[in-house]
Amino acid sequence: MKVEAVEVRIVRMPLRFPFETSFGREDTKHAVLVRAQADGLVGWGEVPAMAAPLYNEETVETAWHVLRDFLVPALLGVELQHPRQVRERLRFVRRHHMAKAGLEAAVWDLYAQQQGRSLRELLGGVRDRVKVGVSLGIEATVDDLVRRVEGFLVEGYRRVKVKIRPGWDVGVVRELRRRFPDVPLQVDANSAYTLEDAAVFEAMDDLGLLLIEQPLGEDDLVDHAKLQARLRTPVCLDESIAHPHDARKAIELGSCRVVNIKAARLGGFSAAVETHDVCAERGVPVWCGGMLETGIGRLANLALASLPNFRLPGDLSASDRYFEEDLIEPPVVLEPDGTIRVPEQAGIGPRVRLDRVDRVTVRREWLRG
Ligand code: OSB
Ligand code: MG
């Protein structure tokens, strides 16, 4: 298979609810969409970057630049036997993992369609539905957060993650635990603390949390190991794991007992599957993280989350948790048992609604070999 042409687009989709984390507040989902053509087929991929480099160093503008000027030209017209070869082909560009992941995803979708197989099958997925949860941002008051949690429990979500930051942590989580004694609950600090704040996490240690996600700096496996040694609750790393070998090192050091896998952060599905395997070989469970993806990125994440070592519920919610109208049809929906079905059709599954994509596009360009 040879990719003949690629269209890159910057899209902006209003979020139904603003999402506030320790690094900032988003009310619009920004993304770069990649549309690749080969043999009369079209494959889609998403770069779920943000407008500002607050989660990691990438933005939609850096992804646009790196895709347009380096990554896409390196792939156009190149004979590929399998999408796994994309990673090697793009390795000459340092980092820019989200940009790489979006392009690689479009090739996986193309290849899967060409083979008449689902992305789930190609990635080695073993489940037809995955356990999911909902990730909640910081709210104005604890009562507001409690009301939002209640709403999502009524909708059928069975696991809740809440964002924390200094000043919005133990007190909030204690109150949630009091109100919802049996709900599987976890927290995500997005690197907002240092080891000097260990007491905050020790105070949360008897609240029965599933895990504490990325409490410390993204580049600090050593202090995460020191923190994990002081806690019974598993530490889970997100930002710190940018390569499969980061997972190996984190596990060897004892920096975490759980790993969050995002193909976007890791540079694509090949790297994500390798990270999954690194963790599985060492008996460390993983779960699928999210970046408020549109349906395009969400479908691919669902396929990934069906691999065997995804043992905790993912940050994969239904389309209507994020958007009035998603870019795919049918949208992603929550099943009554708190799971989401993994598509069985060829490629990523449901159809991309080009008319809707057009409406949210703010910039587009075709690239040809
Ligand atoms: O840290 O997991 C994170 C969203 C944007 C950037 C980083 C994160 C998140 C989420 C949202 O937690 C998860 C979702 O997509 O529902
Ligand atoms: Mg996170």
pLDDT tens digits, residue range 246-274? Answer: 999 999 999 999 999 999 999 999 999 99
Mean pLDDT of the region 72-76: 98
Cα 156 to ligand 1 centre (Å): 20
Percent of the chain with pLDDT over 70: 100
Mean pLDDT of the region 16-42: 96
pLDDT of residue 244: 98
pLDDT of residue 225: 98
Is-catalytic flag, 262? Answer: yes
Q: Which value, to the nearest 10 degrees, does the dihedral of the CA atoms of residues 185, 131, 191, 222 take?
A: 100
Tokens 């069975």, residue located: 158
Taking phi first (over 0 means left), then psi (-120 to 50 degrees means alpha), and beta for anything else, what does residue 268 get? left
Domain architecture of the chain: domains with CATH: 5-116+353-368 (3.30.390.10), 121-341 (3.20.20.120)
User: What is the per-residue pLDDT across 292-347, written as a single tens digit (0 to 9) for each?
Assistant: 999 999 999 999 999 999 999 999 999 999 999 999 999 999 999 999 999 999 99
SS3 label, residue 234: coil
Cα 325 to ligand 1 centre (Å): 19
Percent of the chain with pLDDT over 90: 100
Identify the CA nearest to 307 among candidates 267, 347, 349, 277.
277
Give the residues across from 42 on adjacent strands: 37
Ligand 1 mutation target, pool 315, 317, 323, 334, most atoms within 8 A of CB: 315
Q: Which ligand is nearest to the CA of 323?
A: 1
Instruction: Judge whether residue 31 has pLDDT over 90.
Output: yes
Is-catalytic flag, 163? Answer: yes
Cα 128 to ligand 2 centre (Å): 25
Does the CB atom of residue 55 touch ligand 1 within 6 A? yes
Kindly report the pTM of this predicted structure.
Answer: 0.97
pLDDT of residue 252: 98
Judge residue 248's burial from the number of C-beta atoms within 10 Å of its C-beta, 0-12 exposed, 13-18 middle, 19 or more buried: middle
pLDDT of residue 316: 98
pLDDT of residue 369: 79
Q: Residue 139: pLDDT band by 50, 70, 90 thresholds?
A: very high
Mean pLDDT across the chain, nearest whole number? Answer: 98
Residue 182: how many other CB atoms lie within 10 Å: 7
- Taking the CA of residue 214 as reference, the ligand 1 atom at the shortest distance is 1
pLDDT of residue 175: 98
- Taking the CA of residue 262 as reference, the ligand 1 atom at the shortest distance is 2
Q: Residue 360: pLDDT band by 50, 70, 90 thresholds?
A: very high
- Taking the CA of residue 134 as reference, the ligand 1 atom at the shortest distance is 16
Ligand 1 mutation target, pool 135, 241, 259, most atoms within 8 A of CB: 135
pLDDT of residue 155: 96
Ligand 1 mutation target, pool 98, 291, 322, most atoms within 8 A of CB: 291
